[in-house]
Amino acid sequence: MHIQEELSQRHVLSLTVSNEAGILARIAGLFTARGYNIDSLTVADITQDHGVSRITIVTNGPPKVIDQIIAQLDRLVPVHKVTDLTENGPFVERELALVKVAGIGEDRIEALRLADVFRAKVVDTTIESFIFEITGTTEKIDNFVGLMRQIGLVEVGRTGVVGLIRGKDAN
């Protein structure tokens, strides 16, 4: 007997939640308990009184599973609202990465040239290394990191995705 896998789609979910102790464990635990995937998860409080946080989760799964994920998240008591950005019209998503690259000579110059193409900023430098700061979509950062790997990638730190619906209204 073999276990069959289903085809997955990537979805970006945006949640507003009460900023209370254990909320992150509650959400992360729901994903593990029900066997859902988390590609990335970001969280920070977003209101003046620190009462509400936004959590952005990038997940993947078949449509039925995505629907279940949203329903399950929505029934957690401290969750105010769940929005599937991928389903709800155009949205902006960004990720920030810090990318450390080491090299000398032509490699160093090529790294700078590529960084310029990707509009990455140098935020730290030594004679033989740079740390670049880059923001963009996950794909853009993947591409940048992929190129840097060929030059002399040392390490990467990424924030995971945050996203908002386009237009003037709050979702």
Partner 1 sequence: MAEKSGADILVQCLVDLGVEVVFGYPGGAVLPIYDALYNHPTIKHVLVRHEQGATHMAEGYARSTGKPGVVLVTSGPGATNAVTGITDALMDSIPMVVITGQVPTQLIGTDAFQEADTIGITRHCTKHNYLVKSPAKLAEVVHEAFHIATTGRPGPVVVDIPKNVQIATAPYAKPELKVHASYHPQTKADAAGIDAAVEMLAAAERPILYTGGGVINSGPQATALLRELAALTGAPVTSTLMGLGAFPASSDQWLGMLGMHGTYEANWAMNQADLILCIGARFDDRVTGRLDAFAPNSRKIHIDIDRSSINKIVDVDVAIVADVGSALDDIIALWKQRNHRQVDLTEWWARIAGWRARKSLDYAENGVEIMPQRAIADLYAATKATGKDVIITTEVGQHQMWAAQHFGFDAPNKWLTSGGLGTMGYGFPAAIGAQMGNPDSIAICIAGDASVQMNIQELGTASQYRLPVKLFILNNEYMGMVRQWQELTYESRYSNSYSDSLPDFVKLGEAYGWTGIRIEGPQELEAGIRQMLETDGPVIVDCRVAKMSNCFPMIPSGAAHTEMLLDPSQVEGVMSDEAKALV
**Contact of 23 with 29, CB cutoff 8 Å:** no
Sign, Cα dihedral of 8, 9, 10, 16 = negative
Tell whether residue 7 is a contact of partner 1 (CB under 8 A): no
Rounded CA-CA distance 1/84 in Å is: 35
Tell whether residue 33 is a contact of partner 1 (CB under 8 A): yes
Rounded CA-CA distance 54/98 in Å is: 22
Residues 73-92 that bind partner 1 (CB under 8 A): 74-80
Tell whether residue 46 is a contact of partner 1 (CB under 8 A): no
Q: What are phi and psi of 33, to 5 degrees?
A: -60, -35
Find the shortest distance in angstroms from Cβ 149 to partner 1.
39
Q: Which is nearer to partner 1, 1 or 170 (CB)?
A: 1
Find the shortest distance in angstroms from Cβ 35 to partner 1.
13
Closest CA to 81 of 58, 60, 52, 42: 52
Q: Which is nearer to partner 1, 34 or 119 (CB)?
A: 34
Pick the binder of partner 1 from 7, 25, 127, 170 (CB under 8 A).
Answer: 25
Rounded CA-CA distance 97/141 in Å is: 7
- Which of these segments, 24-32, 39-47, 118-126, 155-163, binds partner 1 (CB under 8 A)? 24-32
* Token pair for 162: 């945050």
Find the shortest distance in angstroms from Cβ 60 to partner 1.
19
Q: Which is nearer to partner 1, 64 or 113 (CB)?
A: 64
Rounded CA-CA distance 30/32 in Å is: 6
Q: Which residues bind partner 1 (CB under 8 A)?
A: 1, 17-18, 21-22, 25-26, 29-30, 33, 51, 64, 67-68, 71-72, 74-80
